């Protein structure tokens, strides 16, 4: 259960920050849980949460007409989920489904980016960590796109 899981300042995404920085970032935070099969994000819905996953696994999915959902990547404890709250139109562009029961922190985006969504004021430490996550995800996507296991040049 959530209570036996590490507190928010020990989540890998925030680890190493000062208590003040953690407080500034996690200014509005809830502990949430999802049963296996539940959607954490639904494509098209308003994006207003940054999830810091604490346990379980989440599958990022894209629904392909005629083919059904394709799994794009698995996220797990220690990962973050949901970045569409950063930029207009603030809508999720993927589904995220709990593959197994999930415990997570849910950080409120309006608090994360400040009072004006058009001119977000991000804590610099948060901005750097988000950049790093995006960069690492970009590297993984590049690799996946290369279709490494296919035969021939």
Partner 1 sequence: MSTGALPTAGPMMPEPLRVRSLRRETADTFTVSLDVSERPGGFPFQPGQFNMLYAFGVGEVPISISGDPARPGELLHTVRTVGAVTEALRRVGRGGRMGVRGPYGRPWPLEEARGLDVVVVAGGLGLAPLRSAILHLLRHRTEYGRVSLLVGARSPEGLLYRRELARWQEDARLKVLVTVDQAGPEWKGHVGVVPALLRDVELEPSRTVALMCGPEVMMRFTVRELERQGVPDSRIHLSLERNMKCAVGFCGHCQLVPFFVCKDGPVLPYDRLRPFINPREV
Ligand X SMILES: Cc1cc2nc3c(=O)[nH]c(=O)nc-3n(C[C@H](O)[C@H](O)[C@H](O)COP(=O)(O)OP(=O)(O)OC[C@H]3O[C@@H](n4cnc5c(N)ncnc54)[C@H](O)[C@@H]3O)c2cc1C
Element (H, E) at 44: none
Binding mask 48-77 for partner 1 (x = CB under 8 A): ---------x-xxx-----xxxxxxxx-x-
Q: How far is CA 48 from the centre of its chain?
A: 11
153 binds ligand X (CB under 6 A): yes
148 binds ligand X (CB under 6 A): no
Give the contacts of 2 (CB within 8 A, at least 6 positions apart).
31, 33, 54, 103
23 contact choice in partner 1, ligand X, none (CB below 5 to 8 Å, kind-dependent): none
Give the residue with the Cβ less far from partner 1, 118 or 148.
Answer: 148
Give the contacts of 123 (CB within 8 A, at least 6 positions apart).
21, 24, 25
Q: Which residues bind partner 1 (CB under 8 A)?
A: 57, 59-61, 67-74, 76, 78, 99, 139-140, 143-144, 146-152
């Amino acid at each position: 259960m959530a209570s036996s899981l590490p507190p928010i300042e020990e989540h890998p995404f925030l680890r190493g920050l000062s208590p003040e920085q953690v407080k500034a970032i996690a200014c509005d935070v809830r502990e949430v849980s999802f049963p296996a099969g539940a959607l954490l994000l639904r494509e098209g819905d308003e994006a207003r949460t940054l999830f810091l996953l604490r346990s379980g696994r989440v599958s990022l999915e894209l629904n392909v007409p005629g083919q059904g959902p394709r799994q794009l990547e698995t996220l797990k404890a220690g990962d973050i989920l949901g970045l569409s709250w950063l930029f207009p139109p603030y809508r999720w562009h993927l589904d995220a489904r709990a593959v197994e029961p999930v415990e997570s922190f849910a950080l409120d985006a309006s608090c994360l980016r400040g009072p004006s969504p058009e001119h977000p004021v991000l804590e610099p430490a948060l901005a750097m960590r988000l950049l790093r996550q995006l960069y690492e995800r970009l590297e993984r996507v590049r690799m996946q796109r290369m279709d490494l296991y296919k035969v021939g040049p």
